[in-house]
Amino acid sequence: MARSIPALVNPQMLVWARNEAGFTDEEVVEQLKRSVNELRAWESGEEKPTLRQAERLAKIYKKPYSVFTLSEPPKTTPLATEYRRLPNVTPGKESPELRFALRDLLYRRHVALELFEEIGELPEKFSLQAKLSEQTEELSRRIRKLLQITREDQFSWQNDSQSWKACRNAVEAQGILVLLFSDVTHEEVRGVSLFHSLLPV
């Protein structure tokens, strides 16, 4: 029988990658088909996973395998906290699916900025501001004016698809990236905004 090759991993990075992905150890072993005690032994440094097991962990966490060999965790962009969510959903307690989706949104924005740079352009800064003390009606009037969407426009839309397309076009015309993500339940989050002066999402 071929001898299993132990993976030269930093136990601290195994813990970091799991927490960063938003998994409990029980959720990981369910996918890994191993015991909780075995995972905890890897994370404490008492034992080492095999190369194949470490590669499987990297796939579950959606991280490159090489991250397990770092001496300390890399700097990461904090996740957004501005969610359109239902009660009892707390920022900082995101599911792995939402955490992966948010990381993907950040990555897509980064790629878009690189593409702007490649063609020698920069998106315009997003300048709309609002205060918590501002009246809802006044703010909505200003947003309508910015997006150039009238009530008559809205009443003319025939269906949800036409409504979505018109709103998306209007928002993107203001230099805002509009992206969709899947695999996240509506019970957890209905939408999210990533604010940046350049290319908000």
pLDDT tens track, the chain, 201 positions: 446 788 899 999 999 999 989 899 999 999 998 999 999 999 999 999 999 999 999 999 999 999 999 999 988 777 765 666 667 667 677 888 888 888 888 899 999 999 999 999 888 888 888 888 989 999 999 999 999 999 999 999 999 999 999 999 999 999 899 998 888 888 888 888 888 889 999
The hierarchical CATH code for the domain 11-69 is 1.10.260.40
Q: What pLDDT sits at residue 102?
A: 87
The count of C-alpha atoms lying within 13 angstroms of the C-alpha of 96, restricted to the half-sphere facing its C-beta, is 15
- Asked if 49 and 7 touch (Cβ cutoff 8 Å), the reply is yes
pLDDT at 1: 42
- Number of Cβ within 10 Å of residue 152's Cβ equals 7
pLDDT of residue 94: 81
Place of tokens 């030269």: 8
CA dist., res. 120 & res. 22, Å (int)? 38
Alpha helices in the chain (DSSP H): 11-21, 25-32, 36-44, 51-61, 96-118, 136-147, 151-156, 160-172
Residue closest to 99 by CA, chosen among 81, 111, 114, 113: 81
- CA separation for the pair 56, 87 (Å, rounded): 35
Q: Where in the chain is the domain with CATH 1.10.260.40?
A: 11-69
- Alpha-carbon gap, residue 2 to 9, rounded angstroms: 21
**In this predicted structure, what is the pLDDT of residue 80?**
64
